Chains A and B, each alone.
Chain A
Amino acid sequence: MIVRGSVVKYGDNIDTDVIVPGKYLGITDYEELGRHALEGIDPDFSNKIKQTGILVVGENFGCGSSREEAPVALKYAGVKCIIAKSFARIFYRNAINIGLPIVVCPEASEKLDNGDIVTVNLAEGVIINTSKNEVYRTKVLPEFILEILKDGGLVAYLRRRLT
């Protein structure tokens, strides 16, 4: 799995109430949810990310509630991959389960800057920063998690195996 795009970058401990506030929960129109993604820290986020695709953040991204609307809103806002120093665990699972690629890579999280052009190879655990001519390596995801991402999420993965 290979994802390409350019970087939009934010800081540490971005919580789920900032990613999608409680008042928007229950909205089933995902495009609409996407328009509210991260509006708490950047009202222009959903416009920016459509042009860029790669969200780079610091540590403990997605801390807080279990709301799956958080990765869903980011995905529908146009995020193709999230690179973080670390993720909050429920957010990490939720992102994989809805088929949104995420990568833990402290080095990339530190060195990538707004506007950098990157290529992320998930199966090989390699991130290439074309703008700075740098390569960052990360742990390869377990095989079954890569399978879930390839299938587009846990629902499709289970449907293929259980029915």
Chain B
Amino acid sequence: MAKAPGIRLENLSVGYGGIPVASGLDLTMPGGKVTVVVGGSGCGKSTLIKHILRLHEPIEGAIYIGGHNVHSLSGKAARCMKQQMGVLFQDGALLGSLTIFDNLALPLREHTRLKENNIREIIDHKLKLVGLSGSEEKYPTELSGGMRKRAGLARALVMDPQVLFCDEPTSGLDPILSAELDHLLLDMMAHFDMTMVVVSHDLASMRAIADHVVVLGDGRSLFQGTVEELDASEDEYLRRFLDRLPEERDTPRLTMPPIGVDMFKDDCSKLLDLQHDD
């Protein structure tokens, strides 16, 4: 079996319309491991993933997957590279007009010559892996948020990719569902030989699944290493990030405004007297 490829970024600048969101990124995401990319909101985590996935061209630098410069590939090689990548989007990004079965079958029907009964077998297996057996004929809108993510994960895995990208997999999920999804991702890692890149700002999830951590912030890479090395870091931003301490600002504390809105709501207090309960 082929070894899962690693990802290497060389002096990469990513952004939109020539305006960089993050630049000077020299990072390694080891093959066969889970790399979690964390950082504050708007620091360029999802943007980075979209560039690795060739959805956008980098402003500068190169991205190598398994030794191949992703953005210099063209024609059939580029298509083969795409087929080696699976993506779990933030909200699943399942096609709303198709059932779960058809969503999963879509890449198989497009890129393979498998017969329908073989396709059904593969899909049954993948849905069983993510715990969604019996949901084949449902539409994405009929599923809960957690189920949609699991269906999205099944679709991402349906072509047996060598690299799996997950964009904020635990966002919008309660702690129990988040933990379940973390376990599911680890199960997938144990099941398939692949490299996983997870974008998240869920620190609990990062500790649960990461072999390797990348921290982005301030438009650059602030850290890469293991969770233990991250915990041992003395860097001021990283400490604040890990300890969830807010940034100190010069703005004064909020005070009561000179004119309250209550005086304009005179009729409401007469109609509805809200009681104070201890």
B partners with A: no
